[in-house]
Structure 1
Amino acid sequence: MEEIEIYLETAKEMMEKAVAHSKAELAKIRAGKAMPSMLDGVLVEYYGTPTPINQVASVSTPDARTIFIKPWEKSVLPNVERAIMNSDLGFNPQSDGENIIISVPQLTEERRTQLVKQSKAVTENGKVGVRNARKEANDELRKLLKEGEGVSEDAIKGAEARVQALTDDFAKKLDELLELKEADIMTI
């Protein structure tokens, strides 16, 4: 039935968003090697407006231990430096007056363990989002049955089974993302 398909499609979209969000959050977790995405959460004061760093400077990684930042305007250099120092990334930026260079330190075993815990928390939040989508879809399906809109109980049971299958698939995707991130973090 068309309404059932709409609820299933909505649940799938919500689950995809939960996984995409988790993937983006995991990308922000530093795994030891320098990546421009490490600075994605850093906002720079730019003409009175907090602006993402990649909108005021080019961010590159010439090697696995260095992040190189070249502001497009020289006047914004101190603001970029301050934003990096005030972030919770623990970086100590060095400026030569035109560019900023960040040396990314090697991760300690303790820090790696913290990052794995953080990654697990991110994926667990993703799973909560997936389960919430399942609950919403199942609630809508049961409401459809109660309203007696010419929908059989068997059709609802079948749809609930499909929702559960989607839930299992997306939970598995999140587990795979976590596995990859853990391997990335623990690789020295």
Structure 2
Amino acid sequence: MIADLKKDTETRMQKTLEALKTDLMKVRTGRAHTGLLDHIQVDYYGSLVPVNQVANVSLSDARTIAVQPYEKTMVGKVEKAIRDSDLGLNPATNGDQIRVPMPMLTEERRKDLIKVVRTEAEGARVSTRNIRRDANNDLKNLLKDKEISEDEERRGQEEVQKLTDKYIAEVDKALAEKEKELLTV
């Protein structure tokens, strides 16, 4: 019972950490990477689909993403979707290929991005603590229903706390890496 609860708690905390890492990847550092365009949706014959399903997304150099739509008719739509996204990118079409240069970040913009990253990390910490609270409540309910002893409950809470500490340390590590990356000129 406690082992299942611990496993479920760890799975949920792992998902929180993965969600944070995904969100941190979307924060632009000035270097190009193909995952930057993953969340952009393009109108493809009446339905919205991710860019990487209608085009080949690759890196042409460290600061430029190359987008090659599979159909020539999609070039304008893909370019418009990238331009209208919340990333602040300015794509340029060259025949049937779209080049997306990454603009340099100003010092002020870097500081704004660090604030965003810290907010994301704090959200992940809160989520991890909420998962801990849920697990501890489940342990208390098991004790109340006399399915486990007080000692088992106490051990369970200690194990949940160790998991919480581990995942909050992982969140802090991911935050520190992203801050370092943002501050690198």
Residues 85-123 of structure 1, C-alpha deviations (whole Å, 9 max, x = no match): 110111111112301111111100011111111111111
The alignment partner of 1:160 has SS state of: helix
User: Offset of 1:129 from its aligned partner?
Assistant: 1.7
- Which of 179, 182, 185 is residue 182 of structure 2 equivalent to? 185
**Amino acid aligned to 1:172:** A
Q: Give the TM-score normalised by the residue count of structure 2.
A: 0.97
Q: Secondary structure at the match of 1:31?
A: coil
Task: Give the SS at the match of 2:177.
Answer: helix
**Please, which runs of 5 or more residues in structure 2 have no aligned partner?**
none
1:164 aligns with 2:161: yes
- Please tell me the residue identity of whatever aligns with 1:104: M
TM-score of the pair, normalised by structure 1: 0.96
The CA deviation at 1:76 is 0.7
Aligned to 1:90: 88
Deviation per CA, 1:118-161: give whole Å up to 9, x if none. 11111111112211110111000000001112x21111011101
Aligned counterpart, 1:152: 149
How many Å separate the matches in 2 of 1:4 and 1:108?
A: 51
Amino acid at match of 1:160: Q
The list of structure 1 runs, each at least 4 consecutive aligned residues, that deviate by more than 6 angstroms after superposition, is: none
Q: Distance in 1 between matches of 2:5 and 2:43?
A: 43
Q: Which runs of 5+ in 1 are unaligned?
A: none
AA aligned opposite 2:13: M
In structure 1, the residue corresponding to 2:14 is in which secondary structure?
A: helix
Q: What percent of counterpart residues are identical?
A: 41
Distance 1:65 1:144 in 2: 55
The root-mean-square deviation of aligned C-alpha atoms, in Å, is: 0.9
| Equivalent of residue 40 in structure 1, options 38, 41, 44 | 38
Q: How does 1:107-122 map to 2 (within 5 A)?
A: 107-122=105-120
Greater relative CO, 1 or 2 (CA 8 Å, sep 6+): 1
In structure 2, the residue corresponding to 1:18 is in which secondary structure?
helix
The residue aligned with 2:136 is 138
Distance apart, 1:28 and its partner CA: 1.0
Among 51, 54, 65, the residue aligned to 1:53: 51
